[in-house]
């Protein structure tokens, strides 16, 4: 990777029923938004074990987005409630690790909210950009060095 | 009769509790001494580094090393033992996962030194003297080991063949491990010498666990007394059982104390802390952001609770929080 301005690397866990479809809608509607989120389609935001989020950060991501159906709309009735319950505790834990709250975000994005998905990605990308690289355990710098070699 | 196999015990950043386990074998320790010769045991017998350097490779069959690694001196010793011994067993939670000393990874080295040498109420240090790696006293050059920026597990420093988990490992698992080594009946390299199921499986209270656990806020063991028969989680006490390997003999549970997680994660789990967080929060009653926040607020120290024994072995390994010194 050439040494240019910092571009945040954000991992996005998107629920297959709502948020991934919402992201698709953002694309088919030709809404412009930053390309910094790498989407990973999951069956439900409830499937996103906090271990995944922490692993993404430990392995070089600068931020993580988890997006699922609005409360009450979960395809599996209550998967998103499980995510909602885990998030405040996860953020509290990440505080203790010294990871800023603005790097990790939970959002509800329905299949019809392409505009909202684009706005969320834009806002998150700018917030993470302002915070700078996380570079946990030097993983980001190491990956950049390997790529340029 | 062939010569008895020789074993070594060594300690790094530990409290001595693991040594206590060996002493707790009581008269069975005589059977151990009958079967093996103890070639190194700093807690009980006087050995020097040069004694170990003089060992022929393979002369000592197995090294049981307890304690986490934080000093350059500990690194030197464990690397030497690794070089000399065909088998290295990480003995106890600290060598296995970092253990209680690993919680120091919540603080920076500067914070630890400031607290220890400046702020501690029993320290009077107007000159703000800190330990130095090199100094001259009366014409002699004195040396102290380097204090690393973080606590490491044994396998982050040297290759480890087997792990004996627990704080401390129960005598029964130690005796079984020594027996297996003597007979040469060992599982695949890298195994943790304990059952693979979670503690809940062997919990004496498991019948009292309701079909669906539902917790609205956490109770604290310091301010209330749990029912001696009921599932701790059902009562609202944080018990690490679901995310912790069994095999400990349920010692804490019998003492009416919820599991604190010393046996480490179950196989296949990358991170004991986030696994426990996932379990305990998914079970909550909260159904709004506010109630979920109140639930999180009722647990005082998630990092210290979820990673009480495993912070250096966790995915993030250490906190980056920088506090003014």
Taking the CA of residue B117 and the nearest CA in chain A, the distance in Å comes to 24
* Burial class of residue A40, CB neighbours in 10 A (0-12, 13-18, 19+): middle
> Which tens digit of pLDDT belongs to each residue from B44-97?
888 899 999 999 998 999 999 999 999 999 999 999 999 999 999 999 999 999
Alpha-helical segments (H) within chain B: 17-23, 28-35, 49-53, 72-84, 93-97, 109-114, 171-183, 199-202, 232-235, 251-254, 272-282, 289-297, 302-306
Q: What is the pLDDT of residue A2?
A: 52
Q: List the single residue in B277, B292, B319 with the smallest CB-CB distance to A97.
A: B319
Rounded Cα distance, B272 and B214, in Å: 21
Rounded Cα distance, B183 and B36, in Å: 12
* Burial class of residue B323, CB neighbours in 10 A (0-12, 13-18, 19+): exposed
Residues 6+ apart with CB under 8 A from B53: B80
Tell me which CATH code domain A10-140 carries: 3.40.50
Interface of A with B (CB under 8 A): 46, 49-51, 53-55, 57-58, 71, 81-82, 84-93, 95-99, 136-137
Q: In this prediction, what percent of chain B has a pLDDT beyond 90?
A: 78
Q: Does residue B324 surpass a pLDDT of 50?
A: no
Domain ranges of chain B: 6-101+151-183, 110-148, 199-306
Mutate: best of A45, A51, A82, partner B, most B CBs <10 A: A51
Helix (H) or strand (E) holding A11: strand A10-15
Higher-pLDDT residue of A149, B12: B12
Q: What is the pLDDT of residue B98?
A: 97
Taking the CA of residue A98 and the nearest CA in chain B, the distance in Å comes to 4
Closest residue in chain A to residue B321, using alpha carbons only:
A98
Q: Does residue B284 surpass a pLDDT of 90?
A: no
> Which tens digit of pLDDT belongs to each residue from A107-138?
999 999 999 999 999 999 999 999 999 989 78
| pLDDT average, residue stretch A24-34 | 97
Label residue B147 left, alpha or beta by phi (over 0 means left) and psi (-120 to 50 means alpha): beta
Residues of B whose CB is below 8 A from A136: 316, 320
- The DSSP secondary-structure symbol of B258 reads -
Q: List the single residue in B269, B277, B322 with the smallest CB-CB distance to A86.
A: B277
- Assess: ipTM above 0.85: yes
Hey, how many other C-beta atoms are within 10 angstroms of the C-beta on A88? 22
> Which tens digit of pLDDT belongs to each residue from B173-220?
888 888 888 888 889 999 999 999 999 999 999 999 988 888 888 999
Residues 6+ apart with CB under 8 A from B227: B235
Task: Decide if domain B6-101+151-183 falls under CATH 2.40.110.10.
Answer: no
Residues of B whose CB is below 8 A from A57: 316
> Which tens digit of pLDDT belongs to each residue from B155-177?
999 999 999 999 999 988 888 88
Inform me whether the C-beta atom of residue B278 falls under 8 Å from chain A C-beta atoms. Answer: yes
Residues of A whose CB is below 8 A from B289: 84, 88
Q: List the single residue in A92, A99, A136 with the smallest CB-CB distance to B302.
A: A92
Q: What is the pLDDT of residue B27?
A: 83
Taking the CA of residue A49 and the nearest CA in chain B, the distance in Å comes to 6
Taking the CA of residue A53 and the nearest CA in chain B, the distance in Å comes to 9
Rounded Cα distance, B80 and B61, in Å: 14
Q: Phi first, then psi: what are they for B318, rounded to 5°? A: -155, 160
pLDDT bin (cut points 50, 70, 90) of residue B325 is: very low
Taking the CA of residue A109 and the nearest CA in chain B, the distance in Å comes to 16
Six token digits for residue B60: 């000592």
Rounded Cα distance, B173 and B54, in Å: 31
Rounded Cα distance, A94 and B104, in Å: 16
Mutate: best of B315, B317, B319, B321, partner A, most A CBs <10 A: B315
Asked whether the beta carbons of residue A98 and residue B317 sit closer than 8 angstroms, the reply is no
């Amino acid at each position: 990777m050439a040494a240019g301005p910092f571009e945040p690397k954000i991992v996005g866990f998107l629920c297959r029923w709502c948020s991934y479809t919402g992201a698709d809608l953002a694309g088919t509607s030709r809404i412009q938004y930053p390309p910094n989120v790498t989407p990973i389609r999951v069956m439900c935001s409830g499937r996103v074990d906090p271990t995944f989020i922490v692993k993404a950060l430990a392995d070089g991501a600068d931020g993580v987005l988890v997006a699922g159906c609005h409360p009450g709309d979960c395809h599996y009735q209550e998967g998103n409630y499980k995510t909602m319950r885990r998030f405040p505790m996860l953020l509290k834990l990440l505080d203790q690790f010294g990871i800023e709250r603005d790097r990790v975000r939970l959002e509800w994005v329905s299949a019809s909210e392409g505009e909202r998905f684009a706005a969320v990605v834009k806002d998150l990308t700018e917030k993470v950009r302002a915070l700078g690289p996380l570079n946990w355990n030097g993983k980001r710098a190491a990956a950049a060095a390997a790529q340029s070699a | 009769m062939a010569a008895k196999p020789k074993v070594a015990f060594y300690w790094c950043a530990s409290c001595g509790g693991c040594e206590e386990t060996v002493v707790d074998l009581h008269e069975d320790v005589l059977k151990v001494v009958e079967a093996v010769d103890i070639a190194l045991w700093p807690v009980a017998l006087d050995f020097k580094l040069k004694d170990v350097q003089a060992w022929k490779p393979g002369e000592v069959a197995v090294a049981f090393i307890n304690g986490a690694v934080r000093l350059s001196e500990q690194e030197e010793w464990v690397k030497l033992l690794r070089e000399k011994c065909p088998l290295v067993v990480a003995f106890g939670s600290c060598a296995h996962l970092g253990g209680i000393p690993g919680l120091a990874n919540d603080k920076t080295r500067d914070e630890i030194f400031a607290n220890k040498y400046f702020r501690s109420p029993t320290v009077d240090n107007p000159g703000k003297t800190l330990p130095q790696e090199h100094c001259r006293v009366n014409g002699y050059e004195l040396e102290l080991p380097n204090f690393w920026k973080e606590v490491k597990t044994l396998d982050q420093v040297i290759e480890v063949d087997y792990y004996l988990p627990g704080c401390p490992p129960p005598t029964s698992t130690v005796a079984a491990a020594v027996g297996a080594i003597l007979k040469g009946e060992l599982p695949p390299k890298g195994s943790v010498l304990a059952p693979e199921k979670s503690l809940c499986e062997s919990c004496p209270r498991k019948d009292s666990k309701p079909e669906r656990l539902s917790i609205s806020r956490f109770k604290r063991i310091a301010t209330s007394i749990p029912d001696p028969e009921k599932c701790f989680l059902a009562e609202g006490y944080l018990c690490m059982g679901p995310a912790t390997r069994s095999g400990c003999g349920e010692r804490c549970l019998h003492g009416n104390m919820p599991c604190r997680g010393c046996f480490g994660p179950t196989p296949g789990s990358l991170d004991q802390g986030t696994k426990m967080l996932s379990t305990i929060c998914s079970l909550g009653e909260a159904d709004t952001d506010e109630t979920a926040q109140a639930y999180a607020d009722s647990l005082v120290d998630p990092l210290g609770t979820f990673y009480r024994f495993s912070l250096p072995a966790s995915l993030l390994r250490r906190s980056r929080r920088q506090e003014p010194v």
